[in-house]
Chain A
Amino acid sequence: QSVLTQPPSASGTPGQRVTISCSGSSSNIGSNVVNWYQQLPGTAPKVLIYNNDQRPSGVPGRFSGSKSGTSASLAISGLQSEDEADYYCVAWDDSLNGHVVFGGGTKLTVL
């Protein structure tokens, strides 16, 4: 299983607000920033949130991120059909000479 824990699935109707959680430990989320990636079917992941709560240019303001202690979350407000995708949290882990750890991914379904 993945070092970072995410729910395998989430869902919502258009216009709703959905949150996706990401739980880690002191060696990863507890001491490093969290980034979030969106992956549409058949494509490479795209950065959605970096440094816990920053949005790259071009990412709609409907997406927001937060971090507290050893957990992080991604919130999507005003859900749209095109938000249906897989979402991954990722953080650097300071153990074992440093390495990258991903969450298992959350498949978001827009009902």
Chain B
Amino acid sequence: QVQLVQSGAEVKKPGASVKVSCKASGYKFTSYFIHWVRQAPGKGLEWMGIINSSSGSTNYAQMLQGRVTMTRDTSTSTVYMDLSSLRPEDTAVYFCTRGGQNTFFDYWGQGTLVAVSS
């Protein structure tokens, strides 16, 4: 069965970086894109960006340009989301989700809480 398993919760100080992983299984990894979506406490869903698991090409949300980097390792079917210069407002649950160059997200990771606090 299709699964996306994310890395565990992180606590970071402002200005630090965080790298969240998303390991895919149960399907051909390179046939799908992976999107990252985050949700601040009590807030709505915010799209962060997309990575083509085959080519590695990316497209990031404008408001995160320069701070977010998405990469993939096809040998381990894992996608990584790196967010730098962390601010308290980056505190959120970060989800990876499988999709295409569209908004049909059929499988989701369990979510990773990233807390940013001094």
Contact = CB atoms under 8 A, between A and B. Distances in A.
A50 B104 contact: yes
Given A44-B110, A47-B104, A100 B44 contact: no
Contacts of A101: 47
B35 interface: yes
Interface string A71-111: 00000000000000010101110001111111111000000
Given A44-B111, A50-B104, A105 B61 contact: no
Given A2-B44, A44-B108, A44-B110, A33 B59 contact: no
A42 B108 CA distance: 13
Contact of B59 (A32, A39, A99, A102): A99
B44 A104 contact: yes
Interface residues of B, number: 22
Given A33-B102, A47-B104, A105 B95 contact: no
A50 B104 CA distance: 7
Contacts of B97: 44
Interface residues of A, number: 28
Nearest to B61: A99
A64 interface: no
Contacts of B35: 100
Interface in A24-79: 32-33, 35, 37, 39, 44-47, 50-51, 56
Cβ-closest 7 pairs across A and B = A44-B108, A100-B47, A105-B44, A90-B103, A102-B45, A35-B103, A104-B44
Interface of B: 35, 37, 44-47, 50, 59, 61-62, 95, 97, 101-106, 108-111
Interface of A: 2, 32-33, 35, 37, 39, 44-47, 50-51, 56, 86, 88, 90-92, 96-105
26 contacts: A2-B44, A32-B102, A33-B102, A35-B104, A44-B108, A44-B111, A45-B95, A45-B105, A46-B108, A51-B104, A86-B44, A88-B44, A90-B45, A90-B47, A91-B103, A92-B101, A96-B62, A98-B59, A98-B101, A99-B61, A100-B35, A101-B47, A102-B37, A102-B44, A102-B46, A105-B45
